[in-house]
A and B are shown apart, each in its own frame.
Chain A
């Protein structure tokens, strides 16, 4: 049995009805993007521990990726500074003629090369053959460690961008005297770490004073294993004969290839094919490329961590939807559409993941700083790694949020409200 329940409208009610009549339409439900963000952030703040823990997976993954990219970028930056940033160092060395016989560089080669306009600095070294380098003459020849003697000019260090670890480099005075500067490896081989006055080494049965030790020169590793003396003293005491065997030069960065192409003719017009021109920076760049294969592996591992983090976020969001059925029902009662409920949970998921991404970028940056500082490199965090990391995190958050958001949106409002009652 049912019956209609009808009542006359009271004057007050009629007045209210007339008032209501002014408002003739119901606008669509609307949720401003700023409100969606605020709502999502508020929900996360109210469960901050859980949010932090569930964002941790993403943070670790993004952190690993940023750290790997940052460390390799820092290494690359260090390498680039070794290369002189522009990679404009060229070497000219004596090769062989068509018959395979040695083709020594003409004595005039350094001067000729210096006259090529884009060439900025030139330094020649001359290999002094057959001279053993030992601490004393008492050391057997077989134990001399294979240190070569190179005659050099005072400008060598400037051209190579090398630095002195101990003492000083050769100067216009000491190139005339039996003074020697040791490359980093040569000094280690000889067991010389400091250069107090009176430090002597035996070069071809003559004692030379050690005036300095160089830091490693990555662009010219042959210098590391050499004992450097001045050309005049090499000529006078070691019988070099003034010949340069290798010439280092720096060209204007945009003219490197052009200079390289004219170097054989400039260095040895009579026998250009007997001149070897190389660009050490290319060798180092290739080595840096090889190192990046390992970077790829670590990036992949970071990706796996991010993926697992995303699953963690999806998981925690599903739990959140189950726990917050009443809130979902309430919001639907307050006028939220299904889509707005979905947007809220998607926003939360994306925010959560973005938070993890931000934490990861900070973590990765900190790791990069730690590594770079400990190895004495400049700190470089590639902006694309930071922005990319954040972007990936947000994307993962959105993807992870889709399923929970759809579940939340599909929850019938009455059922959502009833579940708690």
Chain B
């Protein structure tokens, strides 16, 4: 077992598991113009009778610093798209590339490491742990990297200050407002310097003023070079994003820059 795992492997070569060191095309090492996250011909079908096709062939490229809104009615495949972008699910066919690297050959453990280091998630329900304070919840974003507890808490504190919650460090989720909770979740998503933050209806449980604040925070993140993908019903939120894609029946039907 090597201590550090290189995610990439030579371009075009077949996947070789257990290969310690690889030269080019590593995740996070981007050539100029290379997308940080890319779907090519992705379909996703869930077994059943009849089988449910959630994605029917999606191509999407997300570059560093992109602010992308994914719009669409319920059942149009937005959440599945986000899960596949986040490597939480594997496509039925097609390719997911993170940092130019096809991840279909990666093991579950390698995908987990990839998520922990490259991707940040924000959910509609926040998913904060009630028994941890804000710092503890944000530090969870670094838990699986193996760093020391003190460093994690320090980084978490900084991230909370960045999202404007420097005065709420020791508060538990139950003591925070909805907007504050989502800010904690955003801090957790960015504390590990994710290359892409994937947000699933981040304002769905918030009033519109609070939601606008959350979107402002997410778009501010994009200025740091972090790509932001937001799934939303809300056209107003989508308007704040630099790119908007419209989904219907598992396809991207329209992109408005």
Contact = CB atoms under 8 A, between A and B. Distances in A.
Interface centre among A8, A9, A29 (most CB of B within 10 A): A29
Interface string A50-75: 00000000000000000000000000
Contacts of A43: 131
A265 B57 CA distance: 106
Contacts of B117: 26-27, 335
Contact of A9 (B8, B63, B223, B255): B63
A6 B251 contact: no
Nearest to A19: B225
Contacts of A330: 121, 123, 127, 140
Interface in A29-62: 29-32, 34-35, 38-39, 42-43, 45-46
A9 B5 contact: no
A343 to B, nearest CB: 11
Contacts of B115: 332-335
B182 to A, nearest CB: 14
B59 A3 contact: yes
B144 A21 contact: no
Given A27-B3, A46-B131, A5 B252 contact: yes
Interface string A181-199: 0000000000000000000
Contacts of A30: 144-146
A28 interface: yes
A15 interface: yes
A21 B132 contact: no
A67 to B, nearest CB: 34
Contact of A16 (B116, B121, B224): B224
Given A27-B3, A336-B112, A421 B88 contact: no
Interface stretch (A84-92, A149-157, A240-248, A410-418): A410-418
Interface in A377-417: 412-414, 417
A269 to B, nearest CB: 79
A415 to B, nearest CB: 8
A4 interface: yes
A128 B112 CA distance: 92
B240 interface: no
Contacts of B80: 414
Nearest to A340: B144
Interface stretch (B10-18, B30-38, B161-169, B208-216): B30-38
A14 interface: yes
Contact of B114 (A8, A19, A26, A34): A26
A99 interface: no
B86 A333 contact: yes
B252 A24 contact: no
B125 A334 contact: no
Contacts, number: 209
Contacts of A326: 125, 127
A337 B149 contact: no
Contact of B127 (A1, A27, A42, A327): A327
A5 B64 CA distance: 14
A375 interface: no
Interface string B215-226: 000000001111
A414 B78 CA distance: 13
Contact of B145 (A24, A29, A331, A421): A29
A28 B113 CA distance: 5
Contact of B29 (A21, A32, A331, A418): A21
Interface string B64-86: 11100000000000011001001
A181 B185 CA distance: 86
Contact of A338 (B7, B109, B226): B109
Interface in A7-27: 7-10, 12-17, 19-21, 23-27
Contact of A332 (B112, B118, B223): B112
A374 interface: no
A8 B3 CA distance: 36
B61 interface: yes
Contacts of A23: 28
B104 interface: no
A262 to B, nearest CB: 69
B59 A9 contact: no
B238 to A, nearest CB: 15
A274 B27 CA distance: 97
B63 to A, nearest CB: 5
A420 interface: yes
Contact of B64 (A17, A24, A335, A421): A17
B144 A29 contact: yes
A41 to B, nearest CB: 10
B245 interface: yes
B66 A7 contact: yes
Contacts of B144: 29-31, 331, 334-337, 340
A339 interface: yes
Nearest to B136: A42
B10 to A, nearest CB: 14
Nearest to A34: B149
Given A21-B30, A332-B88, A417 B226 contact: no
A261 interface: no
Contacts of A5: 59-61, 243, 245, 252, 255
A27 B88 contact: no
Contacts of B188: 334
Contact of B112 (A17, A45, A337): A337
Contacts of B79: 418, 421
20 contacts: A5-B252, A9-B34, A12-B223, A20-B64, A20-B225, A21-B30, A25-B7, A25-B26, A26-B5, A30-B146, A329-B127, A334-B140, A334-B144, A334-B188, A336-B116, A337-B144, A412-B88, A413-B88, A414-B83, A418-B83
Rank and list the top 7 A-B pairs by shortest CB-CB distance, nearest first: A335-B116, A16-B225, A30-B146, A46-B131, A13-B65, A335-B144, A13-B64
Given A29-B145, A333-B115, 9 more contacts: A1-B253, A4-B40, A7-B66, A9-B34, A29-B146, A38-B149, A329-B88, A334-B144, A336-B112
Interface of A: 1-10, 12-17, 19-21, 23-32, 34-35, 38-39, 42-43, 45-46, 326-327, 329-340, 412-414, 417-418, 420-421
